[in-house]
Amino acid sequence: MTAPSPAISTRDLTKRYGGTTAVDGLTFEVPSGVVYGFLGPNGAGKTTTMRMLTGLVEPTDGDGFVAGTHCTERRHLVDHIGLLPEEPPLYGELTAREQLQFAADLRDLSWESVEERALGLADSLGLVPDLDRRVDGFSKGMKQKTAFIQTVQHDPDVVFLDEPTSGLDPRAARTLRELIVDLAAADTTVFLSTHILPVVEEIADQVGVLYDGRLVSEGSPADLTAGVGGDGEADLEDAFLELTDEPAAAWG
């Protein structure tokens, strides 16, 4: 029986800017239907990696494949992915509903084809009463909810999330974590970058730790915490600080 193809795979993926190497020979695979926590200190190369995998930046060397499509083939790649960057692309003059309709239109999808899913997500996140308000009057958390919905309303194969709980109150953050788990359960692969380590420890199936542009460790959260400190009480933060040899302030 043939093993299923990974949802994401890279081979020696590298990005250099002049004399600076932002991502250095990155090689890893992510199976379908998992939450993959992608972690590291500021400046480690996480955002650059996500930008390469989503076709926004071309690699200097190496290869990356997402849902079987090479990361340089952006025209075909966008049909399979959703991307929530740290600064979501929203238009303040639009209402939230218009924003979601616009996002569907950009993908050549009718609003009718995504409306049920979008409104269901809005209901889960408590955004339905505000759908016809302009985005420029939203709080950061409301903008984040809108951006998350537009990222996943077309039911992509792979979702890239950069700090998805930013600006959310505790209740909304919990709901979003549950929605992320639901995505993976429905066979969507979630590539999650965040500084909130307890979130990763709670919901990630696998974790990759990036440091100075290189993948320094990979495994389940339990794998990474095993043996750290020697007392069996280490958490993911302890493991990451040991792996990267960074002061805690570098994760802020």
Residue 1 shares a structural domain with residue 52: yes
Amino acid 251: pLDDT? 43
- CA distances 248 to 23, 54, 182, 184, Å, are 22, 29, 31, 30
Residue 42's domain is classified under what CATH number?
A: 3.40.50.300
Residue 106 falls within a domain, yes or no? yes
Tracing tokens 């930008």 back to the chain, one arrives at: 51
Residue 11 shares a structural domain with residue 60: yes
To the nearest whole percent, how much of the chain has pLDDT over 70?
93
Count of structural domains, the chain: 2
Q: To the nearest whole number, what is the mean pLDDT of the chain?
A: 92
Residue 196 shares a structural domain with residue 235: yes
Residue 122 shares a structural domain with residue 23: no
pLDDT interval class at 246 (50, 70, 90): low
The answer to whether 90 touches 133, Cβ cutoff 8 Å, is no
The answer to whether 173 touches 165, Cβ cutoff 8 Å, is yes
The answer to whether 189 touches 31, Cβ cutoff 8 Å, is yes
In this structure, what token pair is assigned to residue 109? 């999808």
Distance of alpha carbon 76 from alpha carbon 57, whole angstroms: 15
Order across the sheet with 206-211: list the strands: 81-84, 158-162, 189-193, 35-39, 206-211, 214-219
Residue 146 shares a structural domain with residue 216: no
Q: Shortest CA distance to 72 belongs to which of 58, 92, 93, 60? A: 58
Amino acid 238: pLDDT? 82
Domain boundary, last residue among 100, 120, 155: 155
pLDDT interval class at 240 (50, 70, 90): confident
- 139: Cβ–Cβ under 8 A, 6 or more apart, which residues? 167
Amino acid 229: pLDDT? 59
Residue 174 falls within a domain, yes or no? no
In this model, does residue 247 exceed pLDDT 80?
A: no
Residue 161 shares a structural domain with residue 246: yes
Residue 151 shares a structural domain with residue 101: yes
Average confidence (pLDDT) over 86-108: 96
Residue 150 shares a structural domain with residue 236: no
The range of the structural domain enclosing residue 109 comes to 90-155
Residue 96 shares a structural domain with residue 113: yes
Residue 24 falls within a domain, yes or no? yes
pLDDT interval class at 172 (50, 70, 90): very high
Amino acid 249: pLDDT? 43
Average confidence (pLDDT) over 42-50: 94
Residue 43 shares a structural domain with residue 115: no
Residue 173 falls within a domain, yes or no? no
Amino acid 67: pLDDT? 97
Residue 119: CB atoms within 10 Å: 17
To the nearest whole percent, how much of the chain has pLDDT over 90?
81
Q: Are strands 81-84 and 189-193 parallel, antiparallel or unpaired?
A: unpaired
In this model, does residue 129 exceed pLDDT 60?
A: yes
Length of the chain counted residue by residue: 252
Beta-ladder partners of 21: 16
In this model, does residue 212 exceed pLDDT 60?
A: yes
Amino acid 231: pLDDT? 55
Amino acid 242: pLDDT? 84
Amino acid 252: pLDDT? 44
The answer to whether 96 touches 146, Cβ cutoff 8 Å, is yes
What predicted TM-score, i.e. pTM, was given to this entire model? 0.92
Average confidence (pLDDT) over 33-48: 95
Give the helix, strand, coil percentages of the chain, each rounded to 5: 40, 25, 35
Amino acid 232: pLDDT? 55
Residue 4 shares a structural domain with residue 18: yes
Distance of alpha carbon 68 from alpha carbon 129, whole angstroms: 39
Residue 22 falls within a domain, yes or no? yes
Residue 35 shares a structural domain with residue 118: no
In this model, does residue 25 exceed pLDDT 70?
A: yes
